[in-house]
Amino acid sequence: MATSGGEPSAPVGPVPFADVDGEQLVPERRAQPEAGLGDDLADDMVSSLPSKMEVSLPMRLRLYRGFWLAEIHIPAAVAMQRRLVPRPDDVVVASLPKCGTTWLIALAFATMARRAHPPDAGAGAGHPLRRLNPHQCVPFLEGLFARGQQAKLDALPSPRLMNTHMPLAMLPSAGGGGGGCRVVYICREPKDMAVSMCHYTRRVMPRVSFAETFESYCDGAKIYGPFWDHILGYWRASSATPDTVLFLRYEELLRDPAGNVRKLAQFVGLPFSEAEEEAGMVGAIVALCSLDNMRGFEANRTGYVDAQRRIPRETLFRKGVAGDWVHHMTPEMARRLDDIVADKFGGTGLAFK
Catalytic (active-site) positions: 165
Indicate left, alpha or beta for 48 from its phi (over 0: left) and psi (-120 to 50: alpha): alpha
Which of 231, 195, 157, 163 is CA-nearest to residue 24?
A: 163
A 10 A CB-CB count for 23 gives 15
Where does 66-137 have alpha helices with state H? 74-83, 101-112, 128-131, 134-137
* Phi, psi dihedral angles at 8 (to 5 degrees): -60, 140
Asked if residues 56 and 213 have their Cβ atoms less than 8 Å apart, the reply is: yes
Measuring CA to CA, which residue among 264, 288, 259, 265 is closest to residue 8? 265
Q: CA Rg, the chain, in Å?
A: 20
- From CA 151, how far away is CA 142, in angstroms rounded? 13
d(CA 134, CA 255): 22
Residue closest to 324 by CA, chosen among 259, 251, 219, 225? 251
How far apart CA 69 and CA 67 sit, in angstroms, is 6
d(CA 204, CA 7): 49
Dihedrals phi, psi of 240, to nearest 5 degrees: -75, -40
Number of H helices, E strands in the chain: 18, 11
